[in-house]
Amino acid sequence: MLQLKREIIESIRGITDVEDLHTHLQNAIELEHATIPVYLTGLFSIKQGQNTEARNIVLSVVIEEMLHMSIACNVLNAIGGHPAINKPDFVPSFPGPLPMDVGADRGLFASLEPLTRDQIKNVFMAIEEPETPLDIPVKSALLTTTEPAYSTIGEFYTAIIDKIAELGDGIFTGDPSLQLVNTRWFPENELWPVTDVASAQKALQLIIDQGEGSSTSPIDCENAPAHYYRFAEIYHGKRLVPDEAEEVGWSFSGDPVPLDDYQIYPLKCNAKAEDYPQGSTARRYADQTNYTYSSLLNNLHETFNGSPEKIDEAMGLMYELRLSVQKMVTLKLDNGEHAAPPFQYVRTNV
């Protein structure tokens, strides 16, 4: 399982002032965001119209990571904090550790790479791995022994949930108008106003359930496989289905989830704009995608800092980013690789 330093959990448990909780929720926002460029790079490496099942799985997780980031922002706003999204250090450097050095105990470095089974197993599944992965039915290659000096991401969120309960409803002093509730993008049973202990706990528990499932089931609260098991469907090449013949009640024995390597662009790994020559088509696309990506983060910052209606503009920029990257990844470089989006934060006019 991915772990973070236990001192972070102990720090949360020792909080007596709600303002100290703001930092940990900001870290949660940065952690949820950090996975999105990683998954998007894999998604964009799939050639148009190919590997449809795998594409849909990765896309579904990307959408839920955006939801989780939104939930963390809502909770931070509800207790009087303010999400900081449009700053250079909000975006991780790839390859590199996740925020809070999550996974550092196992040498995990988040990287921007095309969708391969190795990337799915060693990065995607490693990021989403629950505290106790179920053996369904193939033994997980990612099982490890818990080190006493570390805690899991689930424990991180659980510690925040417990601390919110301890501090009580009195900490919810944030402006209710800052809450993002937009059923056009997220259904009301996934994103709701956070106004008190109960609504905050329910929202944060949704993040845990969708990402990890539970210790007894691979299914989340909405009856869909948790992220770890969704990615495992791609890795094993089969859908996860109920199976009474297996002790755990599930197996990867459903419909095929093919991943044809020949239908994946061999993208340049962990690309930077400066990797492409000035004046080249690849550099033009890299600069354009960086600008659009940074504008998207600017809009999300405004969305969660007083202008919730900006989410529509942010989603428009996401669509614009997708169109640009879909063209970019078709560019073949001199070494046989294909151009890839850098996901770097740059200054814009916003």
- Per run of 10 residues, the mean pLDDT along the chain (length 350 residues) is 77 93 96 95 97 97 94 97 92 89 76 96 87 64 42 84 96 95 87 97 92 71 86 94 88 93 97 96 97 96 93 93 96 96 85
The rounded distance, in Å, linking the Cα atoms of 97 and 108 is 7
- Report CA 125 to chain centroid distance, whole Å: 12
pTM: 0.90
Question: What are the Cα distances from residue 331, in Å, to 45, 84, 340?
Answer: 12, 34, 9
Q: What is the pLDDT of residue 198?
A: 98
CA trace torsion 289, 104, 211, 340 (10° rounding): 20
State whether residue 338 is helix, strand or coil: strand
Q: List phi, psi (to 5°) of 25.
A: -70, -35
Instruction: Give the tokens for residue 338.
Output: 């294909």
Q: Longest Cα pair distance anywhere in the chain, in angstroms?
A: 61
Strand partners, 267: 338
Length, in residues, of the chain = 350
The rounded distance, in Å, linking the Cα atoms of 180 and 320 is 22
Instruction: Give the tokens for residue 63.
Output: 């959408």
The rounded distance, in Å, linking the Cα atoms of 3 and 155 is 9
Tell me the per-residue pLDDT of 121-154, one tens digit each, with 9 for 90 and over: 999 998 888 777 777 864 333 333 334 455 678 8
Pairing between β-strand 150-152 and β-strand 238-242 as defined by DSSP bridges: unpaired
Q: What is the pLDDT of residue 141?
A: 37
